[in-house]
Structure 1
Amino acid sequence: MAPLRDAIRVQERASNDPESSLTYYTGEADPEWVVGSSHSAQIGYILSLIVQACIQKQAGSAHPDPLHVSAHFLQATKRAEFEVRIRILKRGKRFVNILADLVQEQQTRTTTHLIFGANPPSPRPLIDPASGYARRYPLRVHPSNAVLTKVFQFFRFRQRLRWAEDPGLLSRNSAMGGSGLARWGGWVELVGEEERITPASLAFLADCVQTFATLVPSSVTGVNPRSLWLPSLTLSVEYKAPIPAPSALHAARTVGVYLFSGYMSAPQGRHDTCLEIWTAPSGIGEGKEADGWRDTQVCLAVATQMQLMVSATVNEAKGKM
């Protein structure tokens, strides 16, 4: 069991076929980063392993930065050794398209399409905030004034993650006004001074949220949130800006998250979640609120996810296999 920065380590393996177009990275899925009582790794953690392998593959190239990742989860990833098989699909002047599969026991568990390029910091916002057309920072309570709330019990890694939910957003879910969308947000933080926000950890954090299934009454979803498993079928992450270095303006291991979730449909309570991940001005309960702090933060990524609502007994059965 290890902190996230160690749990996502992978290493390149030499190919047995000198003519192969594949690059191989290997690692072992850490037993702590799972959900519920199954042997299945958390979806965001799985994607972070793939992203980390591709980052190492692209290191030192003209296209070192992930710009977009789209993953389809075909089978559960076990707490065991895995292999990431990477193939360059297309290499252009500005972008590189990469296919990467996470494989266990010669079975493809997750398949991804990634776009890499260069993601340098912008000297100024592309849209002037004064114009009224720029996206405004969605959270209003500074992390120094935020109150920690309980992380999901079924997160086996809950000792390594903490959050402070935005009570204003939660209160809006009792009366949606016909929108059909639940909203959630707050500050999410990796526990441990050695932890850092990285492109790989952003993929993990994109799956550490509440969704429509947990935010609305069971009378709406038809499923008790306490006996619920939410398997993901797809998860896409677009990286909007480089991660700033830790400073007085930006925290090292804390992010702000805002999302809306809904569009529930058959079969099995399919629903979609769209979220934004922003920098944070300080750690939770740390720092001091300064005037204009919202204007100095950066949107790091946006993500979309499709999940099902399934009885937790299915997840528990996997844990007994």
Structure 2
Amino acid sequence: MGPFTEASQMRYSHTTGDVVVYIGNAHPEWTVNAVPQGGYVLGLIVEACVQHQASTKLPDPLHVTAHYLKPTAIGPLEVHVRMLKSGQTLCNITAELIQNGTTKVTTQSVFGNMDPAAAPPSEIAMTLEPPSPLARVTPFHTHPSTCTPAKSWSRLNFKHHMLHAQDPSIAERHERLTAAGIGEGGTEQGVWAGFADPSDKLSASALAFFADLGPNKLAAAVLRDKGRASAWFPTIVLSLEFRAPLPREGGRLSTRTVGAIMTSRFMDAPQGRHDIRVELWSAPASAEIGDGKEVKEGWREEQRCLLVAHQMALVMPMEVNLRNAQRAAVGPSSKL
């Protein structure tokens, strides 16, 4: 079992009325400075909901929206799952992450079934993918095997569990259009990212983690203009739309690497409130980041968008991160 898989485990605990309770732990390695990474935290909730739906006809998360009310602490936690509405093709679920009696994150989810074979006969089959001229091809132009692995960001305590590399073509295109006066403003970047341990595989919870991986290029650029070296960018709202089934072993798509296209356009009051839009694209199964293997022709047309995420985040002093970690810590009086 890989480090991420182990750190993302959730277990059924008990049922009280219409609430099903799962228990787990926020692990210290999956933190940014002292606070658990927001995508990892949401992944714990997603994992509990996936387990809740595993034996049903609607096992796949289609959309999840999370509101982060308080910082999650390292240590034990509960996820309370409740079915709001169950239909033939979609169901609505609410889930809350609770520590020491305090709700830290609340979510609303839509589950369904991504298997085309499970569609009812009356459904109009409509998918958009190459070779349709309307289908979007992956925006990545540089194959992960030809990219140079990059040094991980220092404040990510899980950096030794990750591999990542920039696709320079994404930022170069954005800068070229900006210089020509026809750009869309803000920042844009492309990163190949994956798990270092081969036993860690892509899952719904892993996609939630990668959707919040960063780096936060827009906020960092504004900080430099202000003469500040660093800050913390806490997530306030994060929504995930799962676009395609997870890659399977033995297929054409990698089971542990994704391409993340990250764009940010706006920053406003209060507290440097800004947007981050992320598209997670599949990666070719034939090669991993920086391994130098031969690039297969037509690899771009084979890739699929796995997830689209939208985030609202803030810019806060780094010392707030450390203070919040101390304040949020689960003490010995915890009943979890």
Q: TM-score, normalised by structure 1?
A: 0.91
Q: List aligned pairs for 1:54-93, cutoff 5 A.
A: 54-93=49-88
The answer to whether the Cα contact below 8 Å between 1:251 and 1:279 also exists between their aligned partners in 2 is yes
- One-letter code aligned to 1:309: V
Displacement after TM superposition at 1:180 (Å): 2.1
Task: Report the equivalent of 2:28.
Answer: 31
Q: Secondary structure at the match of 1:255?
A: strand
Give the count of matched residue pairs: 312
Displacement after TM superposition at 1:167 (Å): 1.6
Asked if 1:186 corresponds to 2:191, the answer is yes
The verdict on how the C-alpha distance between 1:295 and 1:102 changes in structure 2, with shifts beyond 3 A counting, is same
Task: Report the equivalent of 2:128.
Answer: 127
The answer to whether the Cα contact below 8 Å between 1:66 and 1:199 also exists between their aligned partners in 2 is yes
Q: 2:319 aligns with which of 301, 313, 321?
A: 313
Displacement after TM superposition at 1:279 (Å): 0.9
Asked if 1:169 corresponds to 2:170, the answer is yes
Task: Report the equivalent of 2:245.
Answer: 242
Q: 1:275 aligns with which of 278, 284, 288?
A: 278
Give CA-to-partner distance per residue, 1:74-106, whole Å, 9 cap, x none. 000000110000010111111110000000011
Give, in whole Å, the separation in 1 of the partners of 2:126 and 2:169. Answer: 28
Give, in whole Å, the separation in 1 of the partners of 2:144 and 2:62. Answer: 28
- One-letter code aligned to 1:142: H
Task: Report the equivalent of 1:284.
Answer: 289
Give, in whole Å, the separation in 1 of the partners of 2:21 and 2:323. Answer: 32
Give, in whole Å, the separation in 1 of the partners of 2:275 and 2:263. Answer: 9
Task: Report the equivalent of 1:21.
Answer: 18
Give CA-to-partner distance per residue, 1:177-208, whole Å, 9 cap, x none. 45222001121011101110111110011001
The verdict on how the C-alpha distance between 1:244 and 1:320 changes in structure 2, with shifts beyond 3 A counting, is closer
Task: Report the equivalent of 2:8.
Answer: 8
Displacement after TM superposition at 1:66 (Å): 0.5
Unaligned runs of 5+ in 2: 118-124, 328-336
The answer to whether the Cα contact below 8 Å between 1:184 and 1:210 also exists between their aligned partners in 2 is no
Give, in whole Å, the separation in 2 of the partners of 1:142 and 1:105. Answer: 46
Q: List aligned pairs for 1:219-234, cutoff 5 A.
A: 220=225, 222=226, 224=228, 226-234=229-237
The verdict on how the C-alpha distance between 1:120 and 1:248 changes in structure 2, with shifts beyond 3 A counting, is closer
The answer to whether the Cα contact below 8 Å between 2:83 and 2:93 also exists between their aligned partners in 1 is yes
Displacement after TM superposition at 1:210 (Å): 2.1
Q: Secondary structure at the match of 1:109?
A: strand
Give, in whole Å, the separation in 1 of the partners of 2:59 and 2:227. Answer: 43
The verdict on how the C-alpha distance between 1:233 and 1:162 changes in structure 2, with shifts beyond 3 A counting, is same
Displacement after TM superposition at 1:128 (Å): 5.5
Asked if 1:216 corresponds to 2:217, the answer is no
Give, in whole Å, the separation in 2 of the partners of 1:25 and 1:132. Answer: 45
Task: Report the equivalent of 2:122.
Answer: none
Asked if 1:260 corresponds to 2:263, the answer is yes
Displacement after TM superposition at 1:215 (Å): 5.4
Displacement after TM superposition at 1:278 (Å): 1.1
Give, in whole Å, the separation in 2 of the partners of 1:108 and 1:156. Answer: 25
The answer to whether the Cα contact below 8 Å between 1:182 and 1:211 also exists between their aligned partners in 2 is no
Displacement after TM superposition at 1:130 (Å): 4.5
Give, in whole Å, the separation in 1 of the partners of 2:141 and 2:240. Answer: 24
Give, in whole Å, the separation in 2 of the partners of 1:67 and 1:191. Answer: 27
The answer to whether the Cα contact below 8 Å between 2:73 and 2:325 also exists between their aligned partners in 1 is no
The verdict on how the C-alpha distance between 1:223 and 1:115 changes in structure 2, with shifts beyond 3 A counting, is farther
Give, in whole Å, the separation in 2 of the partners of 1:250 and 1:51. Answer: 22
Displacement after TM superposition at 1:311 (Å): 1.1
Task: Report the equivalent of 2:120.
Answer: none
Displacement after TM superposition at 1:288 (Å): 2.4
Give, in whole Å, the separation in 2 of the partners of 1:320 and 1:104. Answer: 14
Give CA-to-partner distance per residue, 1:242-285, whole Å, 9 cap, x none. 01213362112111111211211111111101111111003112
Task: Report the equivalent of 2:307.
Answer: 301
Give, in whole Å, the separation in 1 of the partners of 2:171 and 2:199. Answer: 31
Q: Secondary structure at the match of 1:280?
A: strand
- One-letter code aligned to 2:65: S
Q: Secondary structure at the match of 1:229?
A: coil
Give CA-to-partner distance per residue, 1:129-168, whole Å, 9 cap, x none. 3453211210001111011112211101111112101122
Q: TM-score, normalised by structure 2?
A: 0.87
Give, in whole Å, the separation in 1 of the partners of 2:188 and 2:90. Answer: 34
Give, in whole Å, the separation in 1 of the partners of 2:130 and 2:198. Answer: 34
The answer to whether the Cα contact below 8 Å between 2:137 and 2:303 also exists between their aligned partners in 1 is no
Q: Secondary structure at the match of 2:184?
A: coil
CA-atom RMSD in angstroms: 2.0
Query: Quick one: percent identity of the two aligned structures?
Result: 36
Larger deviation, residues 65-74 vs 284-293? 284-293
